[in-house]
A and B are shown apart, each in its own frame.
Chain A
């Protein structure tokens, strides 16, 4: 068991946690913003996937990773707006529309890659590059922490900055106040003159952009290419983190980080004498446990309201 402890205390493990948690954090904040705006964004998975694909393709063809990232973010933002439009203009059920968007993203990305590159697997034949890593000159020399923190991808830092950003947005800005009001009681919000639809569109656009950043990280940070369906369920795990975190920014932050840590732990423990089937269930078991815990807490509070009153 001492080897487990060695693993957990190593800088390699900490670095892995930061990398693995990055897409969970960003997608979870995307899910949180949408949820608080009153529209469940179950299309996080599809938005990530579309952004991952667009990012790698645009970067590969233009030779600019910045353009690629921008392209990925744009597509994911548009998908967020599309979900909002389906819900608000056409009265579609957000869950059904979200599932539709996920399927669309899976099919359309595979189709786009095949059309452009004649490759049904992914864009690994395209040299699209990765977003820059950030060296931290001061921290590099700190034992364990220095190795883990320095040289992480730019997007990883953005993911960690997303927590204070969303907290500030929710509780310190007019827009955040409106967003929460709209999510909780749209009629009441409308009655005091809050432009409900405009706020919801903005919320879903931001939600899509955050999920898009998560997707861009996968194909232009974590690895340097897109592969069909490469999000592999990360959007849904992020969605679980939204609820486990009690729909609060710092709660969601801890939950997403927890999922990242669980997966990184599963990776690091993989070679020890623990059955791999058991190890690979860790993130999923944690998700189930988390949701059960969340339901239990809600029940104990005795309220059917999905949104907690405030932080």
Chain B
């Protein structure tokens, strides 16, 4: 039995190692050789395959790799938060990169701690900004080697809300003509998600809607951005409360929304990337009126372009929105088919007003 116990321990240890590989694997180019190309390492606090946020970032950097002559390496840290900080430390310490790119609010403190330790490296933070003031104890070098880019997702939310109200007020959604409520399903109540919601409500009101007709609900729980079953329950509840359409802003949990929309015979908007394209089921596709794009990939591609020209501004945060084409909506044939021309023109006008600055969209930040 003595021997047996050792074997058991080995078996369990083996499983741990195996699963650790499975959870955080994924190294795309592996070419760390000194090819003279600047090396970008994308460190993901989560995983690829979300069909929106991180996939978009990856696409943008892949394009930079192809067009602009970068080397690209991707590290996925998985969804276990306890592995993120050591993961970032390991990635930064390995030193086989020139630029370390990472996204979301969760990474700002890690990058803020690491940037001063590796002053000859560059760091990019997308969809959030490090604390350049250094007041919270990070960024002891004022993060002068960190470029942050944030998105005006509130502007995307504004257009979504504007369009939603125009559609319900104009009774344009077939089968949902009698309904005047709309729903937004967020992942969790954090500033980035709230920014979508605040923008949505502002747009809904700007188009003539009532605040009380916007139903907002959050997935929450253990996996707010990865629990489609719960996403489906919440969307079903929102449709049940009379929402003509539901806009999921909750990563993979949103996939449940498209299923419930088919059952309820109602509508959805997509988020971050063109979800009409990423969905495969035709019935689900048909529920997607448009997608509100948050073009993380484009923003990173542009950063890569600017960095090649040494014109990327480090030590500061850039904020991009509709005017920079970092935020927008899908205007395709399916959209034209579901949305009357008058509403499309009005939406375009609303977008132009935001772009020109004659309308300022409130923000959750």
Which residues of chain B from 188 to 203 have a CB within 8 Å of any chain A CB? 189
Does B175 belong to the interface (CB within 8 Å)?
A: no
List which B24-47 residues lie within 8 A (CB) of chain A: 25-26, 47
Interface pair B252/A122, CB less than 8 Å apart: yes
Q: Which residues of A contact B48 (CB under 8 A)?
A: 120-121
Count A-side interface residues using an 8 Å CB cutoff.
55
Is the Cβ of B221 less than 8 Å from the Cβ of A127? no
Q: What is the distance, in angstroms, from B328's C-beta to the closest C-beta of chain A?
A: 23
- A90-B5, A230-B228, A270-B237 given; A100·B221 CB < 8 A: no
**CB-based nearest B residue for A119:** B49
Closest chain B CB from A86 CB (angstroms): 6
Q: Is A84 an interface residue (CB 8 A)?
A: no
| A124-B280, A223-B256, A280-B218 known; A86+B8 contact, CB < 8 A | yes
State in angstroms the CA–CA spacing of A279 and B8 once bound together: 42
The count of chain B contact residues (Cβ–Cβ below 8 Å) is 55
Contact status of A228 and B19, CB under 8 A, knowing A86-B11, A276-B220 = no
**Across-interface contacts of A120 in B (CB, < 8 A):** 26, 47-49, 76
Query: Which residue of the partner chain, among B11, B49, B227, B228, contacts A92 with CB atoms under 8 Å?
Result: B11
In the complex with contacts A121-B50, A224-B259, A268-B237, A229-B223 CB distance below 8 A: yes
Instruction: Say if the beta carbon of A216 comes within 8 Å of chain B.
Output: no
Q: In the bound complex, do residue B5 and residue A110 qualify as a contact, i.e. CB atoms below 8 Å apart?
A: no
A218 cross-chain contacts in B, Cβ below 8 A: 229
Say yes or no: A92-B12 contact (C-beta < 8 A), given A110-B22, A124-B280, A267-B237: yes
CB atoms of B280 and A107 under 8 A apart: no
> Residue on B with the closest CB to A271?
B215
Q: Is A9 an interface residue (CB 8 A)?
A: no
Chain B, 1-15, CB within 8 A of any chain A CB: 1, 4-5, 7-9, 11-12, 15
The chain B residues found within 8 Å of chain A, CB to CB, are 1, 4-5, 7-9, 11-12, 15-16, 18-23, 25-26, 47-51, 76, 79, 183, 189, 215-218, 220-223, 226-230, 232-234, 236-238, 240-241, 252, 255-256, 259, 279-281
Chain A residues engaging chain B, CB cutoff 8 angstroms: 10, 12, 16, 19-20, 23, 86, 89-92, 96-97, 100-101, 103-108, 110-111, 114, 119-122, 124-127, 218, 222-225, 227-230, 232-233, 263-264, 266-268, 270-271, 276-277, 279-280, 283
Q: What are 21 A-B pairs with beta-carbon distances under 8 A?
A: A10-B240, A12-B237, A92-B12, A100-B11, A110-B22, A122-B49, A122-B255, A124-B280, A125-B280, A222-B232, A223-B259, A225-B255, A227-B226, A227-B255, A228-B47, A233-B223, A267-B217, A267-B234, A270-B237, A276-B218, A277-B189
